[in-house]
Amino acid sequence: MGQHIRWQAIITFTGIALTLAVLTFLAFSRTTVTVSETGGTYIEAVAGRPQFINPLLAQFNQIDQDLVTLIFNGLTKVDETGEIVPDLAKNWEVSEDGLSYLFQLRDDIRWQDGRLFAADDVIFTIELMQSADFPGLPELQELWQMVTVEKVDPYTIRFVLPTALPTFLNFTTVGILPAHHFDEITASELLDHPFNLAPVGTGPFKIDTINTEFARLSASRFYNGLEPRLDSLEFRFYPTPQEVLTAYEQKDVLGGAIPTEAEPIARKIKSLNLYHAPLSGYNLIYFNLQNEEEVPFLQEIEVRQALGYGINRQILIDQAVQGSGISTANPMLPWSWAYNLAQPEPEFDPERAKTLLGRTGWADIDNDGTRERGDVRLAVTLLAPANPVKIAVANEISRQWGELGVEVTVEIVEAQLGERLQQHDYQVALAELSFFGDPDPYTLWHASQIENGQNFAGWDNRRVSTLLEEARIVTDRGHRNDFYFEFQRIFANEVPALILYQPIFTYGVSNQVYDVQLSLMITPGDRFRNIADWYMITERTIEKELQLHEVNE
């Protein structure tokens, strides 16, 4: 009896112990679960390789510009409407005469190494650009050499200009360098400085790793702005733009800029979202008005007008540009406050073109398809850059003008197109211009810019030059428009060049990447304007503790 009771007691005790063990296991056991969260690494294919990840030297290489966009900030930046807005500067004031700009700088900005940003960094950057041996863009050097820079206090700077310059704020978008990373450097030493491949900026992303195959960036913990949702970015370098799409098809990358000629293929890839945005510029045909010996007939307004009426811009866009363009004939861009909506756009009118040519004595006397006047044939050589799209545009223009009785020879040039334009060493040329900020067209069409400026057409119109001068000395936009509207009217009548179309940038990104948005773009680097909002849905495995809250016996 006693023994029986004793075994029952042992069994009972053991049962209680087992129950407690089970309950203890349930109360404190762990299991693995998978949760979704935002972040991820966006990998993009780009054509080429970086050379100078330095805002003072990046203008010559698109990849450098892309990286500079992510790593550096300027005093100002261009927003999605093309306006200049504060960046490292909080605000600025302009004197009534337009000669003095007082900038208040932000005092809460840190470089990616943790050091504070201040006025000394701005002065250092500008003094490099002012140097006689500055190896960067000549336009930067020429502008800043005219400007006097004064440090008012650690976070206030004054710029003084010799004459009013409405486009001055455009130049304040250039990225600022950290003075403490350059020990008594001269401007000529910039090209060989290790900083160019190990940059330190104030932007949202910093370089972690870079080599000949890729560059990896991560979010900067010192960035004082909207924190990126992506964990990191990676750029993979490929020899040509055509290989960008191939890299996506092979699942090596998640996106990249889509060359115009590859867009029909890209549209068929279901996993690839295509984003489009107009680029702030236009393609145009320059007439060389300084080459009277070779093409004397281009000095005649009626001939230039006829060539304008003979261009079918929509055919150019639909066929040669694969739809990646917006027709325009105005030297002011449609988004600009200086654009005259009432200015008539010239229409494609080949019959009117033929009438104008016939009225000025041009006729196909020998029936060989080309018009003559006396012993002069209506023949031109059209210069075009060695780019598949530009070549297609040039060939289509040749075809369209050929139907008017104009003989066109297309000459393809490599890197020397700019030099040929500068020297007025051409007859007719296809080129592309980019703009941002203030719409002042002085450098493009003022007579003083023919010899050493960007008036590549050599257009010498006294009234236009006066209008562009007067528009520079007033600050009221309404008053300036009086000058610019008349300029547009004269331009449309005299046709020193033919504005053809505004290009469209096409960006392909995997549908795994969310919240990508494009707006007006000054350069392709502006595709990253809202990159802080981009994210990918990733999965993370964690251990989760399970607890028993209620036990039923």
The residue extents of the domains of the chain are: 41-254+512-538, 281-504
- Cα–Cα distance between 241 and 316 in angstroms, integer? 22
- Cα–Cα distance between 442 and 331 in angstroms, integer? 12
Amino acid 544: pLDDT: 52
One-letter amino acid identity for 180? H
SS3 call for 429? strand
- Cα–Cα distance between 389 and 387 in angstroms, integer? 6
Amino acid 346: pLDDT: 87
SS3 call for 50? coil
Is beta strand 89-94 parallel, antiparallel or unpaired with respect to 100-105? antiparallel
Q: Residue for token digits 């490099």?
A: 128
Distances (CA, A) of 285 to 13, 381, 435: 99, 12, 17
- Cα–Cα distance between 393 and 316 in angstroms, integer? 6
One-letter amino acid identity for 3? Q
Task: Say if residues 481 and 337 touch (Cβ distance below 8 Å).
Answer: yes
Report the 10 Å Cβ neighbour count for 503: 22
Domains 41-254+512-538 and 281-504 share a fold: no
Alpha-carbon dihedral sign for residues 451, 457, 460, 463: negative
pTM of the model: 0.83
Alpha-carbon dihedral sign for residues 324, 230, 50, 252: negative
Token pair listed for 259: 């060359």
Burial state string for 249-260 with b = 16 or more CB within 10 A and e = fewer than 16: eeeebbbbbbbb
SS3 call for 44? strand
H or E element in which residue 28 lies: helix 2-28
- Cα–Cα distance between 519 and 526 in angstroms, integer? 8
- Cα–Cα distance between 228 and 241 in angstroms, integer? 27
Task: Say if residues 389 and 261 touch (Cβ distance below 8 Å).
Answer: yes
Task: Say if residues 131 and 113 touch (Cβ distance below 8 Å).
Answer: no
Backbone angles phi, psi at 128, to 5 degrees: -65, -45
SS3 call for 325? strand
Partners of 379 in the beta sheet?
Answer: 407
Token pair listed for 125: 């950057």
- Cα–Cα distance between 67 and 61 in angstroms, integer? 10
- Cα–Cα distance between 408 and 318 in angstroms, integer? 21
Q: In the 8-state DSSP scheme, what is residue 317?
A: I
One-letter amino acid identity for 4? H
Q: Residue for token digits 């008053």?
A: 479
User: Where do the H-state alpha helices sit in 210-290?
Assistant: 242-249, 263-266
> Please, what is the angle between helix 477-494 and helix 301-309, to 10°?
90
One-letter amino acid identity for 117? F
Token pair listed for 120: 């000394």
SS3 call for 291? coil
User: Where do the H-state alpha helices sit in 221-311?
Assistant: 242-249, 263-266, 301-309
Amino acid 31: pLDDT: 54
Write the CATH number of the domain with boundaries 41-254+512-538. Answer: 3.40.190.10
- Cα–Cα distance between 520 and 78 in angstroms, integer? 10
Token pair listed for 46: 């780009």
Question: Could you report how far apart the first and last alpha carbons of the chain are, in Å?
Answer: 29
Task: Give every CB contact of residue 521 below 8 A, 6+ residues apart in sequence.
Answer: 277, 278, 279, 280, 505, 527
- Cα–Cα distance between 214 and 439 in angstroms, integer? 37
Task: Say if residues 369 and 405 touch (Cβ distance below 8 Å).
Answer: yes
Fold of 281-504: Dipeptide-binding Protein; domain 3 (3.10.105)
The HSE-up count of residue 277 (CA atoms within 13 Å, CB side) is: 23
- Cα–Cα distance between 253 and 48 in angstroms, integer? 15
Q: In the 8-state DSSP scheme, what is residue 316?
A: I
Q: What is the pLDDT along the chain (553 residues), one digit of tens a residue?
A: 443 333 333 333 334 333 333 333 334 445 554 444 678 999 999 999 999 999 999 998 999 999 999 999 999 999 988 889 999 999 999 998 899 999 999 999 999 999 999 999 999 999 999 999 999 999 899 999 999 999 999 999 999 999 988 889 999 999 999 999 998 899 999 999 999 999 999 999 999 999 999 999 999 999 999 999 999 999 999 999 889 999 999 999 999 999 988 999 999 999 999 999 999 999 999 999 999 999 999 999 999 999 999 999 999 999 999 999 999 999 999 989 999 999 998 899 999 999 999 999 999 999 999 999 999 999 999 999 999 999 999 999 999 999 999 999 999 998 789 999 999 999 999 999 988 888 999 999 999 999 988 999 999 999 999 999 999 988 888 999 999 999 999 999 999 999 999 999 999 999 999 999 999 898 899 999 999 999 998 765 555 554 444 434 3
